[in-house]
Homo-oligomer: A and B are copies of this chain.
Amino acid sequence: MDIALAQARKAAERGEVPVGAVVLDGAGQILAQAGNEVEGAHDASAHAEMLVLRAAARRLGSSRLMGCTLVVTLEPCPMCAAAAVHFRVGRVVFGAYDPKGGGIVHGPRVVEQPACLHRPEIVGGVRERETARVLRQFFRKLRERKTER
C-alpha cells in the first residue's frame, strides 16, 4: 500500500485525482505500479487499476492474472472492479471506501452479482484514514484554488 500511496501522491502532483495502484504476483513481486492518467492521457478509462492490470498482463504475456493481488488506494469503480474479474485477479486490496463511485462494496457490487464469473478475494479499508486523507487534501486544495479565482 506504501507504493500505491506514493503513486497516488505523484498523480496529485500531475493534477490527477490521486489514486494509485500496484499489481503483485503470487510471490509478492511487483509486476506494475501506476497512478491515474485520466487527464494527461485524455482517457476516461485510464484509472490506476486499469493501467496496472494491463501492464501486469503485458509483462506476464497473459491476460489472466491468477494468483496476483491488485492493491489500490481507493475502492475500485464498477469499470475497474469488472476489469479485475476479467483479468482473473486473485485478490483485491483497497484503502478508502467510496460510497459514491465504488463498485465493490457499494453501487452495483460487481463481484457479488450472480452472473459474475470469477470472485477475487476482497480486503477493503486497508490504511483507510491515510488513503482517504490523500484524496481529501487533493479536493480541498482544488476547492481553495477555485475560490481564489
Contacts and interface: CB of A to CB of B under 8 A. Distances in A.
User: On chain A, which size bracket covers the interface?
Assistant: 35 or more
Q: How many copies of this chain sit in the oligomeric assembly?
A: 2
A57 interface: yes
Secondary structure call for the A interface:
loop
Contacts of A101: 115, 117
Given A44-B88, A57-B42, A63-B44, A107 B115 contact: yes
Contacts of A38: 63
Contacts of A83: 44-45, 79
Interface string A51-83: 001100110111110000000000001111111
Interface of A: 38-39, 41-45, 50, 53-54, 57-58, 60-64, 77-83, 85-88, 99-101, 103, 106-110, 113, 115-117
Given A43-B58, A45-B83, A77-B82, 11 more contacts: A42-B58, A42-B63, A43-B57, A45-B50, A45-B54, A78-B79, A78-B110, A103-B108, A107-B113, A108-B109, A108-B110
